[in-house]
Structure 1
Amino acid sequence: MIRELPAVFPTPGQAPRYGVDAILDAWLLHFMTENNLEHSIDPEKNASPEQLRFMVSLAPEQIYIPCTDAMFGHLLTEQADPLVVAEYDARLARIESLIEAFVPDAYTRRKISTLCELKYRQALVKPTLIPSRLGKRLNTIFLTQSGLDDPYRERRRTANRRAFAFIQSEAFRTMLHACPSDLPGCSSIPELRHVLDVLELKRLFAMSVMPEVWEGDAACPDVAALDAALASFPQDFDRLEAMLDPRRGSKLKILYLADSAGGVLFDLLAIRTLLRMGHRVLLVFKEGFYFDSPTIWDVDGDPILETSLAGAHFCTDPRIGKNELLQVIRENPLTVISDGTRERLNLYRVSVTFARAWKEADVVVAKGEHNHRRLIMTSHLFTRDVASFYRLSGDGLRFDFKARAPGARSFTEADITAKAEEIIMGMRQAHAAGRTVMFYSAVIGSIPGQTKVAIELVTAFANHLRQKLAGVFVINPAEHFEEGMDADDLMFMWEKVQRSGLIDVWRFQTHFDIEKSFEILGRQVPPVWAGKDATFSTGCTKEMRIALSMQQRHREMQIIGPDPEKFFRRREYGVGRFCDAGIDCS
């Protein structure tokens, strides 16, 4: 049976979405599963839709595709397009060069090479595989069958040594520190300081994409080469420059995606400039071998990189929480994290820490052509501004700025803290009026598809308590939800409120409360709600831990509800979700 073609293909330049055409839906699911990117099929490896929305601005039913629009158009037709075949050939050739260089045993070399060619031929039959995913599979075959964990480790160290030697030279100091030919006009010293900082940043960006510095024995660039690069510096850089201007009044949190060894030393000098300007930087390396890309483990055994990263904080927890991440950023101007992968930037496979770092950043600076393809050459808009640059095939530098999606709202730590302080002020006023403060913890999103009903239930019961209990100030968390806030934001806000020491009675929802709520609403209890209580909510479980710790400090605080021991069977709440990580909330 010949597979039927979809009646409607995705419109070029627009992110594809489900629900337009049944056959297209099947094709999209086929594409996602063939590339092993579908969360519902492999939730341990692939990011949930909620985690993706930390980074990508997606409308309902929209699907994120981790490749350029042009490549997706070729792959969806499953035709052996010359562009696709050329990309597949490049991936196979790259692996074959690794096999030839690092596998001395002829038998093993032939086995690995044949296995890789079989996978390559399989991909050619009906080209649906994103080329970088084919490259990841071939790379995995090479690493597992050869027994090598990182064949490029010494190569990257050599690149860093060459770059470091150039940075120590008089030629580099002349290129970086030479005064501009004519002093730019300015009205104040702060303005001139900013102009000079930006000039230094431009020079470092330009030098960071000159591989002749660290590759082979090519002649190092001179002042003339740098002047030529700066003379045609892309106009889009002005948008990043405006964001970096300290006269804006706020300092930025910058997520900086490194590209290659050697160049990373110039990246670090550029980052030092950004730190001097008052900004904070999260530098992103790979988790494991991906050719010349720096890994978070390269600092072990590379004294030059170790020295260049002196004073940086290394965060190796792949699932750091929002509170902990914000504390790390506050305490450390420069933090190094990994993206959790050993492949091209793939937002389905990045770690929770990377996703949260993206969400907390003000701007993402992505270096290298591969990052540019994934972030700029796509119709997808992202939740943060993205500045991307790389070396053109000839001379010169390409720099593009993609503004965040118009509807993407970010709640800063200050925003959430202000909302928490507003609630705390209401609690203080209640105490001043002689009222008892009661906090009501209830199931909100832990039952898939029932969030709207849960909000109705908790609101109805909170109003019932207000009518029933005289002189009690009841806090209903559902009344303080704001569109765009996810579980990370809410848990961060409520923890500040809960640790204020102003709660007199902390009530946790029981199954009797739920039954009463349905009675108030004039409905019967549906099966999905039967027997449920606060112990079913992962958010409530976290809140029970906080309640018990606060009771140790404020012995007079009362905890009402299910036995605390019944709470601690739940897992962490899902990343960006309102439900348990172990429950499919789709």
Structure 2
Amino acid sequence: MSKLPDFTSVRELRYGLDPYLDAWLLHFMTENNIEPTVNPAENAQQEQLRFMVDVDDDQVFVPCSDEMFENLLHTRLSPALRREYREKWRLLVHLARINIKDRYTRRKIFALSRHKVRQVLHAPFLIPSRFLKQLMTIFMAMSGVHDPQRKEKREANKRALDFMNGPDMSRSLYACPDSNLGCSSIMHLRWELELLEMARLCRLSLRPQIWEHPATVRNDASFFEEVCAPWPEFNETMTRIMGPDSKQKKLKILYLPGSSGGIIFDLRLIRVLVRLGHKVILALKEGYCLDSPVIWDVEHDSALQDALGEALFVENSRMSKNELLRAQRESPLLVISDGTRERLNLWRTSVTFARSWKEADLIIAKDFPHHRRLIKNSHRFTRDILCLYRDRDGLDQIRFKEKSPRVTKITESQIVAQADSIIAQMRSARGMARQVMFYSAIIGSIPGQTKVALGVVNTFVSYLRSRHANLLIINPAEHFVEGMDGDDLMYMWERVQRSGFIDVWRFQTVSDIETSFELMGEAVPAEWHGKDSTFSTGCTKEMHIALDMQDKHPEMQIIGPEPKRFFRRMEYGVGKYFDARITDKGRGL
């Protein structure tokens, strides 16, 4: 095989430049089972990934550090990679010996897993965390044990909570600093006190000896000195992000915790953030992932249940933007699943997690694995990332990575303002005794035809305006805002559509499209034969809204295809301007 090109960061890798590199990358993606075109049921599509990562169409995103990927790219079994693979093997052996008493089952698991180990050592293609997931899947399938560390995690949380409820917590958290705090104003003094509390809580959450060896902590004076020591990097970073002079409004934060035990202190930190007026979404694992907290741990862990308090649990893994924002208005602390049972893998996260990331202003990620995945990965992400971890020398670290400069965050208030300006036009028209028509049409539902669709819609709306007097026609094609994706647009239009000012809701028909092409002096292209608004998942969602509004306002007229013809569609494509497909029921792959 030809020599693969050299590169200095993963961000440089592109498809379409070198056929041998393309082949290797596709082989790598498929071997790690993170290629969306091969396994679309489990892997996110590019549009969903773009909620979280700033990637071009031809760009490669790999869920690991640049250093790890370089080792894998050159199929090089470096000492670091060998250690990673061996560590995963030792974890499997440890869990099997503790949880499986039947020698036959244990030997079968070891034998099968050794084949997997030999394979990765011979051709080191697998990302170590993906390799671990393979081993854990083998273990759980053959043993029937779905959480082999449930008892250990529960004990870790209990010990952390005992520490928090005991005198050692007061000694750690409420001891006065050696030097007097500067006081330029009451507001700044209050912020200095908040910083002290947050810094100490972060440090406590990064010290596993609290829940692993609690007896050693009580008599260790150096432990309390470390926790209470000044942390200028933390103070500087947090002040820049959310301090009184940051000019930041209250933030929406997606919080990615580290381990069980540490999450008890994470939740105390989250309470401080909520007290400061921020809204937080806590993302737990969907299933067993070593010592990571799982969303259903709360069912059998009283310590975690107490720490979570009145948090609102979200079970829907495919929340719409509207549903997510509504839930955030109801509760300042939401708990969701990231949709995975492995280290952070943005190809595998749920729709709800991806939307939570997109709606956030800041991602707070705890512990070293997140540092490798988010900070040591050269890709630029769509949101600011704050990573807190303890390095290999035992030093507390805080790292901040700004969002990609190419990304413009469209806020909820901007979308609402755009929607309200359209509603104001509709209200004004009503005041002048004009009727209001909303026109629902295919705009992005045929891949590669968006520009043509805009011409079709604009031509037909102009035709309608020329033929109807005293009528205001709302044409979605005339209200596109740069930077908005399909989710933002649907959220904006639903606000307009539920305003109650629509007299006639017209859905695009085959005849409308044929008339448009005739007016443009063109033949109807093959891609448009037989198309109408029923071929759009966006229009399908709008038909549901239209019928709901007609129940509330019976005088509103709906014109177009029969409603039942819309309801074969799946949900709106995540982040897309074009459709999610109709399910091919009964058709094999």
CA distance in 2, matches of 1:449, 1:299: 46
**How is 1:157-556 mapped onto 2 (pairs within 5 angstroms)?**
157-216=154-213, 219-220=216-217, 224-228=222-226, 231=229, 233=231, 235=233, 238-246=236-244, 248=247, 250-556=249-555
Q: Structure 1's 341 and 552: CA in aligned 2 closer, same or farther, altered over 3 A?
A: same
Contact 2:205 2:266 in 1 (8 A): yes
CA distance in 2, matches of 1:498, 1:209: 49
The CA deviation at 1:64 is: 1.1
Q: Which residue identity does 1:293 align to in structure 2? A: S
Residue 3 of structure 2: aligned partner: 5
Secondary structure of the 1:474 match is strand
The CA deviation at 1:147 is: 0.9
TM-score by length of 2: 0.95
Q: Percent identity?
A: 52
The CA deviation at 1:198 is: 1.1
The CA deviation at 1:583 is: 6.5
Q: How many residues were matched structurally?
A: 581
The CA deviation at 1:224 is: 4.1
CA distance in 1, matches of 2:444, 2:436: 24
CA distance in 1, matches of 2:549, 2:299: 42
Secondary structure of the 2:347 match is coil
CA distance in 2, matches of 1:561, 1:188: 64
CA distance in 1, matches of 2:237, 2:454: 42
Answer yes or no: is 1:149 the counterpart of 2:156: no
Q: Which residue identity does 1:258 align to in structure 2? A: P
Give the stretch that moved more between structures: 393-402 or 250-259.
393-402
CA distance in 2, matches of 1:145, 1:527: 52
Secondary structure of the 2:75 match is coil
Q: 1:14 aligns with which of 3, 11, 14?
A: 11
For residues 243-294 of structure 1, give each alpha carbon's deviation from its aligned partner in whole angstroms, at most 9, with x where no partner exists. Answer: 2225636211111111111111111111111111111111111111111111
CA distance in 2, matches of 1:442, 1:158: 57
CA distance in 2, matches of 1:292, 1:310: 21
Contact 1:438 1:504 in 2 (8 A): yes
CA distance in 1, matches of 2:3, 2:12: 19
CA distance in 1, matches of 2:240, 2:130: 37
CA distance in 1, matches of 2:556, 2:318: 32
Contact 1:10 1:16 in 2 (8 A): yes
Q: Which residue identity does 1:486 align to in structure 2? A: D
Q: Which residue identity does 2:257 align to in structure 1? A: A
Q: 1:112 aligns with which of 109, 113, 131?
A: 109
Q: Structure 1's 523 and 226: CA in aligned 2 closer, same or farther, altered over 3 A?
A: farther
For residues 164-209 of structure 1, give each alpha carbon's deviation from its aligned partner in whole angstroms, at most 9, with x where no partner exists. Answer: 1111221220220122223322222222111101110000001110
Give the stretch that moved more between structures: 250-259 or 15-24.
15-24
CA distance in 1, matches of 2:166, 2:59: 51
For residues 347-390 of structure 1, give each alpha carbon's deviation from its aligned partner in whole angstroms, at most 9, with x where no partner exists. Answer: 01111111111111110000011111110001111111000011
Secondary structure of the 2:212 match is coil
Secondary structure of the 2:416 match is helix
Contact 1:240 1:401 in 2 (8 A): no
Q: 1:79 aligns with which of 76, 79, 89?
A: 76
Contact 1:206 1:226 in 2 (8 A): no
Contact 2:206 2:262 in 1 (8 A): yes
For residues 105-149 of structure 1, give each alpha carbon's deviation from its aligned partner in whole angstroms, at most 9, with x where no partner exists. Answer: 111111001111101111222211111111110111011111101
For residues 492-514 of structure 1, give each alpha carbon's deviation from its aligned partner in whole angstroms, at most 9, with x where no partner exists. Answer: 10000001111111111011111
Contact 1:236 1:401 in 2 (8 A): no
CA distance in 1, matches of 2:32, 2:512: 46
Q: Provide structure 2 residue ranges, at least 5 long, that are not aligned to the other structure.
A: 584-589
Contact 1:364 1:385 in 2 (8 A): yes
Residue 132 of structure 1: aligned partner: 129
For residues 447-489 of structure 1, give each alpha carbon's deviation from its aligned partner in whole angstroms, at most 9, with x where no partner exists. Answer: 1222222122112211222222222211110111122211111
Q: CA RMSD in A?
A: 1.7
CA distance in 2, matches of 1:242, 1:198: 12
Residue 587 of structure 2: aligned partner: none
The CA deviation at 1:217 is: 5.1
CA distance in 1, matches of 2:78, 2:167: 50
Q: Structure 1's 548 and 108: CA in aligned 2 closer, same or farther, altered over 3 A?
A: same
Contact 2:436 2:471 in 1 (8 A): yes
Q: Structure 1's 354 and 234: CA in aligned 2 closer, same or farther, altered over 3 A?
A: farther
Q: Structure 1's 376 and 236: CA in aligned 2 closer, same or farther, altered over 3 A?
A: farther
Residue 30 of structure 1: aligned partner: 27
Secondary structure of the 2:297 match is coil
The CA deviation at 1:416 is: 0.6
Q: Which residue identity does 2:204 align to in structure 1? A: M
Contact 1:246 1:277 in 2 (8 A): no
Q: Structure 1's 493 and 289: CA in aligned 2 closer, same or farther, altered over 3 A?
A: same
Q: Structure 1's 513 and 9: CA in aligned 2 closer, same or farther, altered over 3 A?
A: farther
CA distance in 1, matches of 2:466, 2:109: 74
Q: Structure 1's 15 and 232: CA in aligned 2 closer, same or farther, altered over 3 A?
A: farther
Give the stretch that moved more between structures: 452-461 or 304-313.
452-461
Q: 1:94 aligns with which of 91, 95, 99?
A: 91
Q: Provide structure 1 residue ranges, at least 5 long, that are not aligned to the other structure.
A: none
CA distance in 2, matches of 1:234, 1:113: 49
Secondary structure of the 1:568 match is coil
The CA deviation at 1:15 is: 4.4
CA distance in 2, matches of 1:99, 1:466: 72
For residues 504-553 of structure 1, give each alpha carbon's deviation from its aligned partner in whole angstroms, at most 9, with x where no partner exists. Answer: 11111011111112222222111111000000101001101111111122
Contact 2:568 2:582 in 1 (8 A): no
Contact 2:423 2:496 in 1 (8 A): yes
Secondary structure of the 2:216 match is coil
CA distance in 1, matches of 2:509, 2:6: 50
Contact 2:195 2:235 in 1 (8 A): no
TM-score by length of 1: 0.96
Q: Which residue identity does 1:134 align to in structure 2? A: F
Secondary structure of the 1:388 match is strand
CA distance in 2, matches of 1:74, 1:84: 7
CA distance in 1, matches of 2:566, 2:141: 42
CA distance in 1, matches of 2:405, 2:225: 36
CA distance in 2, matches of 1:131, 1:237: 35
Q: Which residue identity does 2:521 align to in structure 1? A: G
Q: Which residue identity does 1:119 align to in structure 2? A: K
Q: Which residue identity does 2:231 align to in structure 1? A: F
CA distance in 2, matches of 1:520, 1:11: 54
CA distance in 2, matches of 1:19, 1:583: 31
CA distance in 1, matches of 2:244, 2:550: 44
The CA deviation at 1:161 is: 1.4
Contact 1:175 1:223 in 2 (8 A): no
